[in-house]
Chains A and B, each alone.
Chain A
Amino acid sequence: MTTSTAKSTDRAAYLAGVQDGMPFVLMAAPFATVFGVVATDAGLTLAQALGFSVLVIAGASQFAAVQLMVENASIAFVLLAALAVNLRMAMYSASLVPYLGQAPMWKRVFVAYLTFDQTFIGSVARYETRPEMTIAQRVMYFLGLATPITPVWIIMTLVGILAGTAIPETWALDFAIPIMFLAMVAPIMKSLAHVAAALVSIGVALALVDLPSGTGLLIAAVAAMVTGAMVETVMERRAR
């Protein structure tokens, strides 16, 4: 009885994740298609371009790597620059520990592979508002979030490779990514501390935009996290 109840709530958590993960597709589809086009233009074979989307599965770093490969950068530099773009995900990984750290190792391996900006921010937003979720439900919700976006990412890369022509610029799909992330961040501005953190993140990132790939963002993120934590501490002391 208990087992079957647990199973059905796990299933419900998974389905809720799938539902909440559907909108991600709107952004992933054009982004992946453009990657397929760019990678093919750069001279990568079908298998290589697809290999990027399956094995790396991190859009911004895939673009960075291909761009540097077009410029014939040294292999070490291609790797360093593209990995720097992904370093923010180490912060995501750390943030997931309080929620998913107790999950079995094999589940954490899956979660790690499927940690994207969207799945991370979507899952944490849910975990924060529903502290009663079990570890198993949290994992299922996370996998649900990743379910629509992951195959679309890979298939649309293939479409881009095969179609070989970019989406017309008049569609302004470049702005799908900013709109999606802004829409995801705004609802989690829960306190003055969150707003302060976001403002510091924006200010420092803009000031350091000329630093090599991803490093400015990392510094901005650390400064913003410290700001948020400090403001929150001060507010708590005042409230007492």
Chain B
Amino acid sequence: MNYSTTEIWGIILLLGAGTFLIRFSFLGLIGNRQLPPVVLRLLRFTPVAVLPGMVAPLVLWPVATGGDPDPVRLTAAAVTVIVAFWTRNALWGMGAGAAALYTGLGVTALF
């Protein structure tokens, strides 16, 4: 790393300020003005539009296996989704997913 101390702190401060402004953007500027119904309808899908796409590459090509698809991790992901969907409870999903992951890893370590 060839940056001066000032440059490193510059990066940290600018990145901090920029990230805050991104987070603050709409919430800070629009405030209590009403958004058009079309925009509200689009925004209601934000969580299901962002998170699956963010996680999909991590599930399919895990860094830990050097990017090769891993049956154990794929199974754990599937178990997580099924249990969380079925119970409508994220905690049960996390628990079941973790159990599936460690069971799978344990079994593969044995053989």
Q: How far is the CA of A53 from the CA of B48 in the complex (A)?
A: 27
Q: How far is the CA of A109 from the CA of B29 in the complex (A)?
A: 11
Which residues of A line the B interface, CB within 8 A?
A: 23, 26, 42-44, 48, 51-52, 55-58, 61, 65, 69-70, 72, 75, 78-79, 82-83, 86-98, 100-102, 105, 108-109, 111-113, 115, 117, 120-121, 124-125, 169-170, 172, 174-189, 193-194, 197-202, 204-206, 209, 216-217, 220-222, 224-229, 232-233
Are A183 and B93 neighbours in the complex by a CB distance under 8 Å? yes
Can you report 8 residue pairs joining A to B where beta carbons are below 8 Å apart?
A52-B12, A78-B15, A90-B23, A105-B28, A184-B90, A201-B48, A224-B49, A225-B42
CB contacts (< 8 Å) of B77 on chain A: these are: 178-179, 182
Q: Within 8 Å of chain A (Cβ to Cβ): is B110?
A: no
Which residues of B line the A interface, CB within 8 A?
A: 1-3, 7-16, 18-20, 22-28, 30-33, 35, 38-60, 62-64, 73, 76-77, 80-85, 87-94, 97-98, 101-102, 105
Question: Which residue of B is nearest A177, CB measured?
Answer: B58
Are B35 and A92 neighbours in the complex by a CB distance under 8 Å? no
Q: How far is the CA of A70 from the CA of B1 in the complex (A)?
A: 5
Main secondary structure of the interface of B (DSSP, over half): helix
Are B19 and A56 neighbours in the complex by a CB distance under 8 Å? yes
Are B53 and A108 neighbours in the complex by a CB distance under 8 Å? no
Are A225 and B45 neighbours in the complex by a CB distance under 8 Å? yes
Q: How far is the CA of A224 from the CA of B13 in the complex (A)?
A: 33
Are A95 and B31 neighbours in the complex by a CB distance under 8 Å? no
Question: Which residue of A is nearest B58, CB measured?
Answer: A178
Are A175 and B101 neighbours in the complex by a CB distance under 8 Å? yes
Question: Which residue of B is nearest A78, CB measured?
Answer: B11
Are B55 and A181 neighbours in the complex by a CB distance under 8 Å? yes
Are A93 and B84 neighbours in the complex by a CB distance under 8 Å? no
CB contacts (< 8 Å) of A181 on chain B: these are: 51, 54-55
Q: From residue A123, how far is it (CB to closest CB) to chain B in Å?
A: 10
Could you say which of B9, B13, B19 contacts A83, with CB atoms under 8 Å apart? B19
- Given A93-B24, A112-B20, A182-B84, A187:B90 Cβ within 8 A: yes
CB contacts (< 8 Å) of B9 on chain A: these are: 48, 51
Question: Which residue of B is nearest A83, CB measured?
Answer: B18
Could you say which of A58, A82, A88, A113 contacts B50, with CB atoms under 8 Å apart? A88
Other A-B pairs, 8, CB within 8 Å; known A97-B43, A201-B52, A226-B42: A51-B9, A56-B12, A93-B23, A97-B27, A179-B98, A183-B91, A200-B49, A224-B49
